[in-house]
Amino acid sequence: MINRNDWVDDFQKNISELIARSPAADIERNMRAFMTQAFSRLDLVTREEFDLQTQLLEKALQRITALESRLDALEGRRPADPAAVDATPPTAQPATPPPPINPDLPDPV
């Protein structure tokens, strides 16, 4: 007489072999390869990279806010003479446009 545990083990082994040989396994492998190829074409970042860039952006925004308030304080100390304000030169525009954010994309200008 066959032991019950042996029968369950044989049944489980047969089912596993059947699934491994079925078209479902091929479909899964093909879909996995297709998805990997599709994701590699996209410009995706990992969650860790995204979180790091978010932190850097927050620090930059804090620094910009601090510099803006400092600039406002300095401008508040200027004399109220309109001639002195008109004598200030306009801000210079950069000679070259900034590089695009993603070098793979065409420049929107």
* Structure-token pair, residue 42: 């996209």
CA distance 94 to 78: 26
What's the pLDDT score for residue 47?
92
pLDDT value, residue 12: 81
pLDDT, tens only, 57-97: 999 999 999 999 999 989 887 655 555 445 555 555 555 65
Helix (H) or strand (E) holding 68: helix 47-76
pLDDT digits (tens, 9 = 90+) for 1-60: 456 677 778 878 887 887 777 777 778 788 888 888 888 888 888 899 999 999 999 999
**Residue recorded with tokens 């420049």:** 107
CA 27-29-34 angle, to 5 degrees, is 90
Residue with tokens 């969650």: 47
Which contiguous run of DSSP H or E holds residue 8?
A: helix 4-21
